[in-house]
Structure 1
C-alpha cells in the first residue's frame, strides 16, 4: 500500500470541523486507534486551502467515491461523511473509520493506506469543492 506522499490538502472548514471532532468526547471514547492517530498527524501537517485550490480528483469530506477492492475486483460506492451522518448500509462512510480516515485527501488512482484489503480510489463521482466553484 502506498503511504500518503504529500501533505493532506484540506479546506479550512473541514480542517476546523475535523479538529473539533478529534478533540470531542465522542472521539475520545473511541480510544487512541492507530487510524485516528494518523488522521491527527495528517491534520497537524495539513496544507489548509480555499475550496478553489482543491483538485477535482482529490477525496474531500462529502465526496462520493468509487473504491475498488483489488483482490476481488469489486467496486463499492461511498460518501465520506461525519459520524452523525454515517450509515454504511446506505453507503455513507464515517470519517472515523479506518477506510474513512485513509481515503481523505487521496487522489483517483491512489492505493488506500492503513487497511487490510488492497483498495484503490477508482473514481470520484461527486466532490463538493468542485460544485461550489461551478455555482459561483
Structure 2
C-alpha cells in the first residue's frame, strides 16, 4: 500500500468500519490486517456512491491487474470476507492484496508487501464497478 490518494464511497466506508469493529471482537482476527485496512480507510477521500469516478476500485468491483515484474495478468472481484472464494477469483477485502486495491484507479501502480518483498501491480481495467452500473445496493 502506498501514499497515493485513494477514493472510497461513504456506503463502502460505513460497511467496512462495521466489519472492522465486528472483527476486532474476535480473538482469531488478524489485528495487524485490521489496522492496515483502518489506516487505508482513514486516508481515503470519501465520496457519495453516485459521485465515485468510474475508474476507481470499489467494493464488489471486478478488476484486471498485471504484476509489473512477471507480467502475470489476473482478474479479481473485491468482496467482503463472507463472499470470498479465491477459486472463483473473489478476493476478500481482508486479504493484503484486497486492501491494497481498494480505492485505486485504472492505470495506478499498487504496491503491497508479501513475504518475499514488495510487489507492484498495475490496475489495467475496472471491468465492473457497481456504482457505474447503478447497482448501489451491492
TM over 0.5: yes
TM-score by length of 1: 0.85
Aligned residues: 130
1:51-99 C-alpha deviation (Å, 9 max, x unpaired):
1211111100000000101122111000000000000011000000000
Describe the SS at the equivalent of 2:31: coil
Calculate the aligned-residue CA RMSD, in Å: 1.9
- 1:36 aligned to 30, 34, 37, which one? 34
Range 51-60 or range 78-87, more displaced: 51-60
Structure 2: gaps of 5 or more residues: none
Q: How does 1:1-136 map to 2 (within 5 A)?
A: 3-6=2-5, 8-25=6-23, 28=26, 29-33=28-32, 35-115=33-113, 116-132=118-134
Larger strand percent: 2
Larger helix percent: 1
Shift of 1:27: 7.4
Cα distance in 2, alignment partners of residues 68 and 31 from structure 1:
27
Structure 1 residues 27 and 40, CA gap change in structure 2 (3 angstroms)? farther
Structure 1: gaps of 5 or more residues: none
Describe the SS at the equivalent of 1:23: helix
Shift of 1:47: 2.8
Structure 1 residues 27 and 82, CA gap change in structure 2 (3 angstroms)? farther
Q: Say if 1:80 and 1:95, in contact at 8 Å, map to a contact too.
A: yes
